[in-house]
Amino acid sequence: MKRELGIARCGLACCLCSENTNCAGCNSGECPDKDWCENRKCSLEKGIGHCYACDEDCRKGLLTKIKPYAFNLFAKRYGEKQLLDCLEANEKAGVIYHREGINGDYDDFEDVEKLIEFIRTGRRT
């Protein structure tokens, strides 16, 4: 885990992304997706660092997907440090952020609250 990369503006875990060898994170200004990322554009316009810092319950851009949406809700409720702590503990316990391609242990959820509980505990309920 590259904790220093933290959480992307949209909520994805830059710190665990397998593509982070070529990416310095969306806050670096070097993100290859920076020109089309709706969440980056919106948070910059609002002057906030992350979607979880916004008062709106937004589901635009990458927040239409359950993983970044749940990560944002987790950070809103418990803070980014707690999210990073849980992701790090889960990784050490063998939870995979994503395997080859995009699917990992955080991806097979349809219920946001169940995913938040999985982030918190590293166990499926």
**What pLDDT, in 10s, does the model give residues 34-66?**
788 899 999 999 999 999 999 998 899 999 999
Amino acid at 49: G
Amino acid at 107: D
| Residue position matching structure tokens 């316990």 | 93
Return phi, psi of residue 121, to 5°: -110, -20
Least confident of 31-40, 75-84, 107-116: 31-40
Q: What is the pLDDT of residues 18-42, one digit of tens each?
A: 766 666 777 777 777 778 889 999 9
